[in-house]
Amino acid sequence: MQIYTVRKIIDRYVEGGSTVNVCSIDLIKAFDKVNPSALYMKHMKRHVPVELLRLLENWLSDSRV
């Protein structure tokens, strides 16, 4: 369902004459293999914005069973 929705949104923008760039990352597999706290600390040391880290943390916590 999500792929269908994304495709419809892209088609709508393209029909309107816009260029659409899409990026997708499968974060679940990456986060399942390592300690999340250690990974967040490494990202903080590399100056990844805290807002982005919080967003990823929220997404991942919502997706875990």
Q: What pLDDT score was predicted for residue 63?
A: 59
Domain range annotation of the chain: 25-65
Question: What are φ and ψ of residue 57, in 5° steps?
Answer: -60, -45
**What distance in Å separates the CA atoms of residue 9 and residue 4, rounded to the nearest whole number?**
9
Q: What pLDDT score was predicted for residue 23?
A: 84
Q: What token pair was written down for 48?
A: 């990844």
Residues 7-55: tens digit of each pLDDT:
999 999 999 999 999 888 776 666 667 777 788 888 889 999 999 888 8
Are 55 and 49 within 8 A, CB to CB?
Answer: no
Tell whether the model's pLDDT for residue 64 goes beyond 60.
Answer: no
Is pTM, for the whole model, over 0.85? no
Q: What pLDDT score was predicted for residue 26?
A: 72
For CA atoms 35, 41, 46, 49, give the dihedral sign.
positive
